[in-house]
Amino acid sequence: MHSEAIKQTILNDSVRQIFRDLLIDELNNYNKFVKYGKLKNWVHAEPKYGAFVK
């Protein structure tokens, strides 16, 4: 979503910085969400490849 907006703001540094800050904030929030999920044991490990193949 933000990457398309960043591509269109090549000539406007201040607007590009705003979108960059928004993207970094979203990544930080996602990181906090994942850490909280691990803390609450809501994140399950995916099965290993070939675990159910005989």
Domain count, the chain: 1
Find how far residue 10's CA is from the centre of its chain: 23
| Domain assignment of residue 17, given as a range | 2-39
Q: Where are the alpha helices (DSSP H) in the chain?
A: 2-7, 13-39
- Residue 25 belongs to a domain: yes
- Residue 52 belongs to a domain: no
- Residue 45 belongs to a domain: no
- Residue 26 belongs to a domain: yes
- Residue 17 belongs to a domain: yes
Q: Which residues contact 15 (CB under 8 A, 6 or more apart)?
A: 9
State the pTM of this model. 0.61
- Residue 21 belongs to a domain: yes
* pLDDT tens figures, 8-50: 777 788 888 888 899 999 999 999 999 999 899 887 777 777 6
pLDDT given at position 30? 94
